[in-house]
Structure 1
């Protein structure tokens, strides 16, 4: 009797729970689920806290969440590059200053110089400006990478010096004056009512995203079969695809639920000889262009990291730089390219940030380096190197921006916001240490 009871108890304890079966069948990253849970708690907490204090909750509204997505774009773009930097056991403290100096460069170019030669409102002004900003960022990043890789100066020192040098250069370039307004087409890259793709365009993007998700699941399953790897159960594939497509469709509904302001609608109707009915006109914002830029960067960076030799080399260097060098990887050249890529992404973030503000200021990108590093770490990138994901960094950027936006909505002072951000960063590193110890 005792033996049978012990056998029954053992079999019950050994059988996995429903949650364990779900996680095993879907192969969902527990860190990813944890970040979604934290994001939900942040949104709900600030929403209900605002409802209690102010009588209404402003966090979970289409307007605020739409603005939150736009605000996250520049930080998220840079966070995807910071993943590669940290994975290779380096750090870049200069990204905020790069946003400032490239933003000021683009401001001077499109306001002071290009109109003199191409004419005011020339359609090529915004293209030349954006490309120049990205190239300037890439060249500065490559210079940092050269100092780190070929001159043996620690990345912390090089980028800390870069933070001071390029912030000072941004100030000296125009004696600290604000440059505005930027080119009207360039301004669309920052969002706003006109810098969106509308309801129809958003549904098209959503449909394409769902098709891409289904294609990736099918191609991934075929690849596993071809190489003899274990397959996810069909119900796991369907669940993952269903959850991903549900998030996409929910995002489309959300951005389409946020209408243009009445004043903008009146201007638009007057410019296009449209009669506005008495009950008003509803025009959806849809996805903002900065958000689409972030999505595009996220997809391209994910392909770069997971599908190319470059990405494999990055993680090989992060795992063991000496072994990577012995395996034939040119660690110095890879380091230079990684920092050049980080600089280019900082330049692209400056495009979005300056276009959104419709100006170039010396304060552009101030303290962005802290938010970018925090986003990457919160997203699961280990400061010990060798571990990190692009989607995790983007989600980490959304978490950081949600914290900042929520504190602004309920009236927290700037100093309190900085205390919270710093505390979250330290806590994220602490959790990373616990996770790595548990993995061992």
Structure 2
């Protein structure tokens, strides 16, 4: 985790220097956080897949397929049933995306768990099948625009919660961090486990809360365009000041959604029986089965959960583009797998971290954003991402050999 944070700092400082100070600006960092959200959500699920010694190569194509279905539901199906811009349209769309993604994931998981087909083969086939289905849904036509209540899921001006709400959420997160640290220390003392020095606990609390409040400060520093800010002020019946007014975006909705998914997945892996079963299967499948764990059912549910998270990411991606396109999610499987591996998830199974995967997603997106900012061509960007993935797996192998 420390290594990832240091690597992220080096990447940010390097790209800021190469871009002449354009990288570490509120605007670019806000956009970076929004762009990371979709991959981060899927990376949370990929951690569990890889921990069980499997892989899912179909997540990018599945995102494209689910996104096209969501666009079809919003633009053609629901308007005929309940009319355009109905308040329930976005809720139905999200429900359809999660249900469809979960169903596809469960189907692939059943093939892997009950028919004993290797996950590499099943999901490689899925990569081709779901991309073809994405085209087949509308014969390759792009569907736009999306429902106005759905678009905030993708960020943008509509998807920012404002400065006051952002500070409130930041303070709540800091309070939860302090409560979590205190509770964990109390539990370790209760069961006789070793405790960190008090100064170390305080340092972790200060650094964590500082990172949260710093992120809120950056989000609030990214100001709305003057014309839009003026329209918002006048819509409230207030007079626009002669000298103008600066109104910050605040935190983006997709970022908050990704953080919520990350917290929920961390709780699942660390506090629930299902999470313990997943890591037990990854550590030693035979021992887990002999211990009474229904390994086939757990494996199928892992892929179902991965599919449901792909559905959430499809909503974020479709809302951000304000359109459902056939090419959505292209190469996302590479970024999701790379994010999980860079975040400390071992391809040998049994080891993984949801928090690490989300940081890994931020590292991968930082590389892509930085390379775009300094003008590198797309082929060279793909080369760099591929090299990063290979190096990450190599370092994982070295780490495991040292532990062994």
TM-score after normalising by structure 1: 0.91
Contact 2:109 2:300 in 1 (8 A): yes
Matched, 1:216 2:185: no
Instruction: Indicate which of 306, 315, 325 corresponds to 1:351.
Output: 315
Classify the secondary structure of the residue corresponding to 2:149: helix
Residue matched to 2:212: 248
Matched, 1:93 2:57: yes
Where does structure 1 lack aligned partners over 5 or more consecutive residues?
1-31, 52-56
Residue matched to 1:154: 118
1:237-281 deviation line (CA, Å, top 9, x unaligned): 111111111111111111111111123224434544443223222
Number of residue equivalences: 404
Q: C-alpha displacement at 1:379, in angstroms?
A: 0.3
The whole-number CA distance in structure 2 between the counterparts of 1:367 and 1:257 is: 32
1:40-439 to 2 correspondences below 5 Å: 40-51=9-20, 57-439=21-403
> Which has the higher Rg, Structure 1 or Structure 2?
1
1:267-303 deviation line (CA, Å, top 9, x unaligned): 4345444432232221111100000001100000000
The whole-number CA distance in structure 1 between the counterparts of 2:161 and 2:188 is: 37
The CA RMSD measured in Å over matched residues stands at 0.9
Contact 2:151 2:158 in 1 (8 A): no
TM-score after normalising by structure 2: 0.99
The whole-number CA distance in structure 2 between the counterparts of 1:148 and 1:205 is: 41
1:370-405 deviation line (CA, Å, top 9, x unaligned): 000000000000000000100000000000000000
Stretch of structure 1 that moved more, 346-355 or 273-282: 273-282
The whole-number CA distance in structure 1 between the counterparts of 2:183 and 2:70 is: 42
Stretch of structure 1 that moved more, 347-356 or 276-285: 276-285
The whole-number CA distance in structure 2 between the counterparts of 1:318 and 1:418 is: 30
Q: C-alpha displacement at 1:90, in angstroms?
A: 0.1
Q: C-alpha displacement at 1:230, in angstroms?
A: 1.0
Matched, 1:39 2:3: no
Classify the secondary structure of the residue corresponding to 1:230: coil
